[in-house]
Amino acid sequence: MEKCKVKIYNASKYPLPEYQSSGAAGVDLYADIDEPIEILNQNIYTIPTGIYLELPAGYEAQIRARSGLAMKHGIALVNGIGTIDSDYRGEIKVILTNLKAFSHTIHPGDRIAQMVIKSYVTADFVEVDSVEALTDTERSDGGFGHSGM
């Protein structure tokens, strides 16, 4: 398992993120709020965590939904998976929405998302003159639903 050193500052009153088991890929992030926030259906909320990071170059922090909140209460991340770039130094905030017809309340200290640290590569784009210059494949330009699913 690859590890990297990540500097972290915790401005919240909640614990530092930590792995809950030896096989855990992510750590929980807590709502750093002073009073409960009612998450209404089809509204968007930015919830602070009080966490600041310094990631090494070549790494990102992915902010992902918590499956229990999604399944039980319909709470999802508006942007699917959020990316914290290695050069960002601001507070990590989580953009939540409610997909169910009834509201759900986020309380101070609730676990609202998980964070996974990932390495990545960058691309050197090589511009070509036409789409025909791209190598043909069996799928070619077959898009959504092309595999029959």
Residue 147 lies in a domain: no
Residue 149 lies in a domain: no
* Residue 49: Cβ within 10 Å count: 24
Cα–Cα separations (whole angstroms), residue 51 to 6, 11, 63, 91:
12, 6, 12, 6
pLDDT score at 137: 87
| 68 marked among binding-site residues | yes
Which residue range forms the structural domain that includes residue 70? 7-123
| 103 marked among binding-site residues | no
| 137 marked among binding-site residues | no
| 10 marked among binding-site residues | no
Cα 28 to Cα 59: distance, rounded to the nearest angstrom:
18
pLDDT score at 33: 98
Residue 131 lies in a domain: no
Which three-class secondary structure string do you get for 62-119?
Answer: EEECCHHHHHHHCEEECCCCEEECCCCCCCCEEEEEECCCCCEEECCCCEEEEEEEEE
Question: Mean pLDDT in each 10-residue stretch from start to end of the chain (149 residues)?
Answer: 92 96 96 98 96 97 95 94 97 97 96 97 96 87 66
| 79 marked among binding-site residues | yes
> How many domains does the chain contain in total?
1
Tokens of residue 71, six digits: 């399944």
C-alpha R_g of the chain: 19
The residues pairing with 45 across neighbouring beta strands, listed in sequence order, are 96
CATH code, domain carrying 55 = 2.70.40.10
Residue 61 lies in a domain: yes
- Pairing of β 44-48 and β 104-106: unpaired
Residue 138 lies in a domain: no
Contact between 114 and 28 under an 8 Å Cβ cutoff? The reply is yes
pLDDT score at 90: 98
Residue 146 lies in a domain: no
pLDDT score at 127: 97
Residue 128 lies in a domain: no
Residue 148 lies in a domain: no
Contact between 31 and 38 under an 8 Å Cβ cutoff? The reply is no
